[in-house]
Structure formats: structure tokens, C-alpha cells
Amino acid sequence: MKKNLGCVLALTLLSISGLATAQTTAKQLLGGWSLVSLETDTADGRIQAFGPRPIGYINFGPDGRIAAQFMRPDIPKIAANNRQKATQEENAAIAQGVMAFFGEWKLLDPKTGEISLHVIGSSFPNWNGSDQKRFIKVSGDAMTIINPSSPSAGTSTVMLTRLK
């Protein structure tokens, strides 16, 4: 397990250092982005918490606000058609299949693509009120985000495409 964790850490550092080859500007981040993939390298291996074809959006506002929503496309509907009457199994599937947060963002280093996030609210309550780092690279209409502090206890790589 320690060996796997060391490999994950080494790959993360290589991924982050690879992002340092191009400048990232705040203007490049602005607007809406559609989720293409989200994979997390953990001590137990690579996982796709939202399945092989996740759906979602991130919006970077010019006012420094951010909102993100990711989910599995196959979350089961609530049989009672009332979210207040969902079963424990339905609630578990929703909680495991949805990640959303909002807050404030700021580009810290254009060379590395490092941004700071202040999470105001999240469907993962451990993030509420937290300050976090991400590393972002934009190439044309493609964005890659490295999250070294994923709620899945690993390093996530998020691939997005610009909304048009």
C-alpha cells in the first residue's frame, strides 16, 4: 500500500510539473466548462467515482465566484417522487453519485496554473469553509484540473471542455 501511495504521489508531482510548461491566465478560465472525465488516483488504485461518463459543469465567474456540479448519469430516481421521502438506499446512491460546491477562486501562479479556492458550501460538508488549491491548464477549449485533495482520498484529474 505504501508503494502504491508513493507511485500515486510521484505521478501527481509529474502531472503538476507538466502543467508548469504553459502560462495560464485568469481570462482563459472564465466561463462555463462541461465535464468530460474525472478520475482519482488513490492508495487502492484509480477510481471513477462518477462512472465512465460523468456529467457536470464548472463555471468560473469574472467576479471570482465558482460553482461546480458533478454527478453520475445513472443515479436512480426516487420511487416516492418526493425527495423528503427517499429511502436510505436512494439517499446513499445520491450522496455517492453527486458532488457540488460553490465559493470563490483566484489565480495564484500563472506559471504553474495554481488557483486558490475558498469553498463556501459543498455537498461534501468537510469542505465547507475550507481553503484549497488546484492546478489548472487550459489549451484552447480543453481544461485539465488537478485536485491534490480529492474527497475520494487521492488526487483527481478533471478533464473539461469549454461550453459554447
In this predicted model, what pLDDT tens digit does every residue of 17-45 receive, in sequence order?
Answer: 444 456 999 999 999 999 999 999 999 99
pLDDT reported for residue 98: 97
Burial pattern 121-159, b for ≥16 Cβ within 10 A else e, equals ebbbeebeeeebebbbbbeeeebbbbbbebbbebbbbbe
Q: Distance (Å, rounded) from C-alpha 148 to C-alpha 144?
A: 13
In one-letter notation, the amino acid at residue 58 is I
How confident is the model over 37-61, as a mean pLDDT?
A: 95
Compare 129 and 11 and report the one with higher pLDDT. 129
Q: Are 154 and 49 in contact (CB under 8 A)?
A: no
Res 116 pLDDT > 60: yes
Domains contained in the chain, number: 1
Q: What is the pLDDT of residues 129-152, one digit of tens each?
A: 999 999 999 999 999 999 998 877
| pTM higher than 0.75 | yes
User: 117 has which bridge partners?
Assistant: 105, 132
User: Which residue segment(s) compose the domain that 89 sits in?
Assistant: 2-162
Helix (H) or strand (E) holding 35: strand 31-42
- Residue 71 sits in a domain whose CATH number is 2.40.128.280
